[in-house]
Chains A and B, each alone.
Chain A
């Protein structure tokens, strides 16, 4: 009789494919996962606490550091919460600038997601080809905001600056080019049989479970649940755009990946429409906001759809220039909730595939 033994494997914090300092304590039976215990907190910086010692405006740069791949979306969520608290009217042009820069951020984030996912599966080239387009995206954002990743572009009541001359045309041109690039990734990664064999029917997330665990973003839509805040509860000017919400069928890794791929095509459509519409609008990019921001006593919660899922900011004001409390609902963290059960019964190689398909961002998980 052979005596078999389960053993623990520390997957991380220093591991090439945990996308940061994330640790999973795997209990393995050979190569098969018996139990997985996600351990996070290696990147905890206490952002929520930091907010309490900053003014409302000063907290904006800190939101960049949550999901630093799609910084604009993080800014936007926070700024929306404060605006709701103060009842500030945002000029139309600012809303459009937010949409354009936000969708560019989403593009950058999705490009990283698909690139690193192909790297997780073992194809290096998809990673760098995705980075090539991301570089263009970041150049555009840099031209707009001055920073490449941590944009700090949104302001309470609007955005920091108007688009420089010729910027919108550049974005438009890039968006014309983007679909061919997405076709290239599709050919290189999505269409590859080995890739499909690796990801199909791996890490299946049933729609009911996904809803029960409050999973959001492409991970939720990969399971076939049609819930995109941009469509379901349109914020900003999203109700003026015509776009589809791509959905998966089986809720496996491939569907989640494919959702991101298709979402990129949709956001190209959104940006193109936004550019067309913004050209007819003239006006300021920041509304009438007092110099010292002192919201009335009360609280507000605002949520938007980021590249990872639904990010929600809950801001409590005690009437002073500093928030009494800021809480962030971080989609990456919540999406990780089901990880243990998702990993059970799969091989070590699938651990990487499943974790990558959730597309977590450690800055956001640990906050």
Chain B
């Protein structure tokens, strides 16, 4: 019954608006879908901040937020409320336009990416046939915004953070794409639903374990999480690119980090963890819930990584990207290609 909950809602909405012309009808349904995604992301970002603080506290023998609301659930809401009330300090040497544009735009790539992510069976807002390409292209835009913030702040710490962000993007986008290539070679499609459909029997994490590892490392790096949180690096660069931001502008960056995490985890789930397919035939749990569970397992792992590992140094980061991940991902493509050839030659 819950399986088709959201699809059913969409269909119900469509038939409710049946009197209207088809184009307007579709446009309204699409609008509702996008608003639903927006709400989903924002609620998730709020929850994730709370979850991160709880995970951090539990790892560190603490209790974590537990005063505001039941079990401290409203802590992030209260924090955001406080940050909204605070002044956004813009010091006199900033590039004011770019400085303020950066926090405004920081959510845009994330929101755009979510349009193509299938949250369950038939649950992508737009199932584009070049979905993956779109996702990668838009996803890497966020670097530009970090760079904008770092540059416009006119602060040396921010500048260093911005510089690192660009360098990191260039060296980690490459192994990320190369790792996905193995998956694409097997499926032969860039369409999200096709990729998931190809994993009905075997998840790609089993057939492409190296690609999974590379992709996971690269995506942790892409969303600037420890041990790759060099652009923030609070022990060296104070707060990296957002040192100069205060109030809600800071909160936007802060929330965007979690929205980006959501994207990364969703991508890992789609590409390697079989998307919304239920493992072990446990399909009484609806597909969207499976997607959600897988995403949150990945999220927990990323959080645990952050609270376990020290930060890597900037030259080591570059070295690791170029000397380890890129050759490894190229080798993976090579092996995948040979494997596919043999597979076909045997003719299963």
Instruction: List chain A positions with a Cβ less than 8 A from chain B.
Output: 7, 9, 15-17, 31, 118-125, 128-129, 132, 188-189, 192, 194-195, 197-198, 347-352
Contacts and interface: CB of A to CB of B under 8 A. Distances in A.
9 contacts: A7-B156, A16-B235, A121-B311, A122-B235, A124-B60, A125-B59, A197-B313, A198-B311, A349-B313
Contact of A347 (B156, B157, B313): B313
B324 interface: no
Interface of B: 56, 59-62, 156-157, 160, 226-227, 229, 233-238, 307-316
B314 A347 contact: yes
B312 A197 contact: yes
A347 B310 contact: no
Given A121-B235, A123-B309, A347-B315, 18 more contacts: A9-B157, A16-B234, A31-B160, A31-B314, A120-B235, A122-B226, A122-B233, A124-B56, A125-B59, A128-B61, A194-B227, A195-B310, A197-B313, A347-B313, A347-B314, A349-B236, A349-B311, A352-B235
7 A-B pairs with least C-beta separation: A122-B311, A128-B60, A121-B310, A123-B310, A122-B310, A17-B235, A349-B313
Given A17-B235, A31-B160, A198 B312 contact: yes
Nearest to A30: B163
A132 B236 contact: no
Contact of B61 (A124, A132, A192, A351): A132
Given A7-B156, A121-B235, A128-B61, A192 B313 contact: no
B183 to A, nearest CB: 28
A7 B159 CA distance: 12
Nearest to B316: A197
A189 B311 CA distance: 12
Contacts of B157: 9
A128 B62 CA distance: 9
Contacts of B237: 348
Contacts of B233: 122, 349
A contact patch SS: helix
Contacts of B236: 17, 348-349, 351-352
A352 B313 CA distance: 11
A350 B233 CA distance: 12
A189 B56 CA distance: 16
Nearest to B61: A132
B contact patch SS: loop
B6 to A, nearest CB: 38
- Residue among B59, B60, B156, B236 facing the most chain A CB atoms (10 A cut-off): B236
A194 B312 contact: yes
A36 to B, nearest CB: 14
A189 B312 CA distance: 13
Contact of B60 (A9, A16, A129, A352): A129
Contacts of A122: 226-227, 229, 233, 235, 309-311
Nearest to A9: B156
A266 B234 CA distance: 33
Contacts of A119: 235
Contacts of B156: 7, 9
Contact of A194 (B60, B309, B315): B309
Nearest to A195: B310
Contacts of A197: 312-313, 316
Contacts of A128: 60-62
- Residue among B157, B311, B313 facing the most chain A CB atoms (10 A cut-off): B313
Given A16-B234, A349-B233, A198 B60 contact: no
B313 A125 contact: no
Contacts of B227: 122, 194
- Residue among B56, B226, B310 facing the most chain A CB atoms (10 A cut-off): B310
Contacts of B307: 124-125
A198 B61 CA distance: 26
Nearest to A32: B315
Contacts of B312: 194, 197-198
B64 to A, nearest CB: 12
A348 B164 CA distance: 12
A50 to B, nearest CB: 34
A118 B310 CA distance: 7
B70 to A, nearest CB: 25
Contact of A16 (B56, B160, B238): B238
- Residue among A16, A129, A350 facing the most chain B CB atoms (10 A cut-off): A16
Nearest to A356: B235
Contacts of A121: 235, 310-311
A361 to B, nearest CB: 18
A5 to B, nearest CB: 12
Contact of A129 (B61, B229, B316): B61
Contact of B238 (A15, A31, A118, A132): A15
B323 to A, nearest CB: 13
Contacts of A17: 235-236
A190 to B, nearest CB: 11
Nearest to A132: B61
A15 B238 CA distance: 7
A350 B312 CA distance: 11
Nearest to B227: A194
A192 B227 CA distance: 12
B346 to A, nearest CB: 40
A121 B238 CA distance: 13
Nearest to B60: A128
A121 to B, nearest CB: 4
B310 A194 contact: yes
A22 to B, nearest CB: 14
A116 to B, nearest CB: 9
A319 to B, nearest CB: 51
Contacts of A31: 160, 314
A23 to B, nearest CB: 14
Contact of B313 (A188, A189, A350): A350
A195 B309 CA distance: 8
Contact of A123 (B61, B160, B308, B316): B308
Contact of A198 (B234, B308, B310): B310
Contacts of A195: 310
A347 B237 CA distance: 12
Contacts of A9: 156-157
Nearest to B307: A125
Contacts of A124: 56, 60, 307
